[in-house]
Structure 1
Amino acid sequence: MAPVRTSVTREAARRLITYNTSPDIGFDRSINPYRGCEHGCVYCFARPNYAYVGLSPGLDFETRLFAKSDAAAVLEWDLSRPGYEPRTIALGTATDPYQPIEREHRLTRDVLEVLARFRHPVGIVTKSGLVLRDRDILSALAEENLVKVAISVTTLDPDLARRLEPRAPHPQKRLAAIRGLAEAGVPVMVIVAPIIPSLNDHEIEAILKAAREAGASEANYVLLRLPHELDGLVEDWFAEHYPGRRDHVFSLLGQARGGKSYNSAWGTRLIGEGPYADLIRRRFRLAKTRLGYPEERLRQRTDLFRRPERPGDQLCLL
């Protein structure tokens, strides 16, 4: 079978910052320089977004990508608005800001350069070692407590990683990214995500240990989420790769999701509830304590925010 080609369409963005009111996450605004993600992670909760615009949450999400080519200019406009009040911006919440096309388009670096000029706090979520390319910006931001990077590690098993995340970096490269960032003075969180019942849940302690040894100072997790079309995509994936486990996995997931494969209720949609979810929660907490992960999370500063002067600004005041 011939390899599937990836296409990238440049698009203009009216606004770059997206706001949310969810009580489940620690930020109220985010930026995604790209739509779609070349990593091809079968479980990605952002896949159903493609159905809203008439594209496939399956193959299209992985191969028909969109780059917000004016991201830096639009962000600068957003941050320069008179009424703007700074809070941490999450970079890469729906699609990976360091997916392979970032090497060519460099939109994530452009965004970081703008945030650095404004001294604006940012949190980054990625699977990619490409984040190390931007250590110069990230370490400068870290000196003023303006950045934290979260590296997602789903499994340490390269065969399982290749099946789940076919074009994402090898697990060891993610651990190397944690190590490289930590050595540069950049705070790093490891995210064990998603935890998939009876598939990678036995690796929780091993992932936390490997990440801690690499320099991670925080840890979090997410239980597998299957909104909308994602339910069927993951069922098909199990039928192809692990047919004997499918029923058991979905049975355990249902125990943590109120009898369904997904429950969108705030407070439980990320970690589930019930005996299985409680067991995961206890294991995670005990492992963090044993490995010496700090209880308190690092919070980025907002009081350093400034709007850089631009040509013509003084004339506008006269």
Structure 2
Amino acid sequence: MGTELQYKQPKSLLNKGTGFLAGYTHSLNPYTGCSFACSYCYVRQMPVSLFRPLEWGSWVDVKQGAAELLEKELARAKKKGKVTIFMSSSTDPYQPAEYKERVTRALLEVMAAEPPDFLLVQTRSPLVTRDTDLLLRLGSRVRVSLTVETDLEQVRRLFTPSAPPVAARLKALRKLKEAGIATQATVAPVLPSSPAFAGLLAGVTDRVCVDDYFMGDGSGGKRTGRLGLSELYEQIGRQDWYHPSAYLEVLHRMEQVFGAERVFVSQKGFEP
């Protein structure tokens, strides 16, 4: 599926942290839309997608002038008090458009010069390693949360065919860790995985967050339920994984390897 890029001039960038992100003062999205088009993405059921005539994943809005706007908004926000930023809540800041458009890198340059109190970078793309230099400048003020929903590549291809392969994400986590950048592997949503999954993650990161549709989509799983995902689970005969208790097995495996103090569940794992 091709992606149509549209260039927009946003009036604001920093949004108040609410709901699932209430622990943050702000959320920040370099783009609107996401060409990874993951089958389970809760944003598919939000107005930004529902009221757009084009299919989710086929369009991306590039926010022009984002760095200059962030510089002004960040300065104002810091005058009011502590600033913690979640990037990003409704798009992937390192989706394919970022290779050329470099909006996310421009925003990181602003934050490296005038750091917020904390920044969480949420992505599933190995492209994040390109910006190691800027992430290092943020030091202890940043954590990269890289999504790895499963260790089974065939499952990844079924649920997120346009997203980066599992091996590439594991390699990215390793590179970030070796560079001295704080990371976590985000098993969100929990997809069918093997007993070896926890061991693979332990080799590339020191921290894990486990989340699923029922805890993390903002509606107790109802928003995700409208996407027809049960059919995908039926295709691989793993309907048992599409259940509110399925995450417990993965959680147990992670705790066995990482220790309970380094494994977090849902909202707690994303907080500053």
Q: TM class, shorter-chain normalised?
A: 0.7 to 0.9
Q: Cα offset for 1:193?
A: 1.2
- RMSD, aligned CA: 2.8
- Aligned partner of 1:291 in structure 2 is 258
Q: Aligned partner of 1:211: which letter?
A: L
Given that residues 31 and 91 in structure 1 are in contact (C-alpha distance below 8 angstroms), is that contact kept between their aligned partners in structure 2?
A: yes
**Rounded Cα–Cα distance in structure 2 between residues aligned with 1:157 and 1:211:** 13
Structure 1: stretches of 5+ with no match in the other structure: 257-275, 303-318
Q: Aligned partner of 2:71: which letter?
A: E
Q: 2:80 aligns with which of 72, 75, 84?
A: 84
Any idea what SS the aligned residue of 1:154 has?
coil
Correspondences of 1:1-318 after superposition (within 5 Å): 4-22=1-19, 26-50=23-47, 54-55=51-52, 60-81=55-76, 83-120=79-116, 121-142=118-139, 145-196=140-191, 200=192, 202-203=193-194, 205-214=195-204, 216-224=205-213, 225=217, 226-228=221-223, 230-235=224-229, 238=232, 242-243=234-235, 245=237, 248-249=239-240, 253=243, 256=244, 276=245, 280-281=247-248, 284-285=251-252, 287-292=254-259, 294-295=261-262
Given that residues 198 and 257 in structure 2 are in contact (C-alpha distance below 8 angstroms), is that contact kept between their aligned partners in structure 1?
A: no
**Rounded Cα–Cα distance in structure 1 between residues aligned with 2:226 and 2:87:** 28
**Rounded Cα–Cα distance in structure 2 between residues aligned with 1:105 and 1:227:** 35
Structure 2: stretches of 5+ with no match in the other structure: none
Distance 1:129 1:23, change over 3 A: closer
Q: TM-score, normalised by structure 1?
A: 0.72
Given that residues 208 and 219 in structure 1 are in contact (C-alpha distance below 8 angstroms), is that contact kept between their aligned partners in structure 2?
A: no
**Rounded Cα–Cα distance in structure 1 between residues aligned with 2:136 and 2:203:** 20
Given that residues 34 and 65 in structure 1 are in contact (C-alpha distance below 8 angstroms), is that contact kept between their aligned partners in structure 2?
A: yes
Q: Cα offset for 1:157?
A: 1.6
Largest Rg, 1 or 2: 1
- Percent identity between matched residues is 28
Any idea what SS the aligned residue of 1:195 has?
coil
**Rounded Cα–Cα distance in structure 2 between residues aligned with 1:160 and 1:52:** 25
Any idea what SS the aligned residue of 1:181 has?
helix
State how many pairs are aligned: 258
